[in-house]
Structure 1
């Protein structure tokens, strides 16, 4: 991850590119579970593709560091859903309001601008963190569905009620 952040790009696996690369546009949208959507430019070179303009901002805003795991799901051109896990494999839940963050690509001066929708003001990126804070991460452990959501014969884990008598647990 540090090299990815230092270089400002994240290379997409070649196997994915061999299957879907022809259909990829020059722009992609990365959406995290709270609905926040990031516009990131795709750079194509010698049969390889990477997330570039906008990737550093995405990584910085989500405080990505060595040990984080990102799971990308291709939803169709140009959409990707992204799940972010910390070093303990716990999904990070960004609970802040749904922000629509878009990279402006019209000209050189606008290339470093951010437009934040849903009632927030426009802001200029000055090399510092944006004045509107990024969604703060909250760890969220994935839970199994409740027993009322499970159907007969379902193989999901079903919790059992236990009671304590002395030092032993009985069912």
Structure 2
């Protein structure tokens, strides 16, 4: 049985999405995938295609690059939701010049009110060099605040490195 909210953190290419997909699949419940990526170029289109193939056909997918709260409201109690990923969602809002604290508050409320358990995938960005431009620094700080807020609300927080999970909060299933 999954917690109401599970946060899966890791760096780029860490295996966090695959680990989260395996966790959700293992529940046996109907699977709802909330996709936040926008494929603006061939590289991103290829990544989205790989992720879809990796998941397989037994998922209902909602494309939600900005309106994750609306997508979460559609989830049913007999489903498990995988939100992949909070980092892309945040970058979409940053580039859309959204009110980031307001959007974060709406997301956290939507997660609390969601009828289904939710697994959120997010990138850990704070273990690298300080970015050399203001926009990148703004994003890094906003991502750190978002991850902290998600972790505070989650019953299970898992760091994934090299495909291996480490429970930071709660117990691994």
- 1 or 2 for the larger relative contact order (CA 8 Å, sep ≥6)? 2
Taking structure 2 as the reference length, the TM-score comes to 0.25
Structure (1 or 2) with the greater helix fraction: 2
